[in-house]
């Protein structure tokens, strides 16, 4: 009898860390996102528009249960897909992205709930109240870019599967591409 073992599953971790150890109440934090291959085999990862994908998936929840989503307020365009967007991440290797949100003209945290069809910049939270807030983001094999109105969030997105739905993907070696999901969370204390 021959026993065959399947190859080890890729182990990719997403660590979300605030840039500062704590923030003043009423401020907006910035983060560092680190994707790390925590497994024993290399992982083929699509890093196409990585910063945008991590920002578009970000949300927050405060101690009172109020949820926030990071909304885009500037339309985006898909960048050309390049072979360099597919990276082979060796065991222990990391890919780092700094996520600057404070002072951003492109992004803003908005309270989830009953929102009008068009959300203006007046809905953007200017900061978080004193206490602990949990922030989270995800990376997965699908992405969307905001295609709506400048300075207003109107919910118009254009979604694609990565990298399959992009011109030129048929010329790339997609065998073994990581297509799972990873989530990173960070707890930030505002004083």
DSSP symbols for 35-82: EEE-SSS-EEEE-TTHHHHHHHT-EEEETT--EEEEEE-S---PPPP-
Residue 3, pLDDT score = 59
Domain presence at residue 46: yes
pLDDT tens per residue, range 27-43: 999 999 999 999 999 99
- Domain hosting 35: range is 12-190
Segment 152-177 shows an average pLDDT of: 91
Give the span between the Cα atoms of 101 and 16, in whole angstroms: 14
Domain presence at residue 173: yes
Domain presence at residue 1: no
Residue 85 dihedral angles phi and psi, to the nearest 5°:
-75, -15
Q: What is the mean pLDDT of the chain?
A: 93
Domain presence at residue 164: yes
Task: Give the predicted TM-score (pTM) of the model.
Answer: 0.93
Residue 53 dihedral angles phi and psi, to the nearest 5°:
-60, -40
Domain count, the chain: 1
Domain presence at residue 124: yes
Give the span between the Cα atoms of 188 and 191, in whole angstroms: 10
pLDDT tens per residue, range 46-97: 999 999 999 999 999 999 999 999 999 999 999 989 999 999 999 999 999 9
Segment 135-154 shows an average pLDDT of: 95
């Amino acid at each position: 009898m021959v026993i065959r073992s399947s190859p080890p599953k890729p182990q990719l971790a997403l660590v979300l860390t605030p840039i500062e150890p704590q923030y003043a109440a009423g401020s907006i934090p910035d983060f560092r996102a680190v994707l790390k291959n925590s497994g024993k085999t290399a992982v083929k990862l699509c890093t196409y528009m990585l910063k945008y994908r991590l920002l578009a998936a970000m949300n927050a929840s405060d101690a009172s249960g109020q949820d926030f989503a990071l909304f885009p307020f500037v339309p985006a365009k898909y960048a050309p897909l390049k072979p360099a967007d597919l990276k082979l991440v060796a065991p222990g290797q990391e890919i780092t992205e700094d996520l600057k949100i404070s002072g951003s003209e492109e992004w803003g945290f908005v309270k989830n709930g009953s929102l009008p069809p068009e959300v203006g910049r007046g809905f953007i939270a200017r900061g978080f109240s004193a206490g602990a807030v949990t922030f989270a983001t995800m990376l997965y094999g699908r992405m969307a870019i905001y295609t709506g109105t400048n300075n207003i969030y109107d919910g118009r997105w254009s979604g694609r599967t990565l990298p399959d739905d992009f011109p030129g993907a048929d010329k790339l070696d997609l065998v073994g591409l990581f297509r799972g999901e990873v989530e990173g969370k960070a707890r930030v204390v505002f004083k």
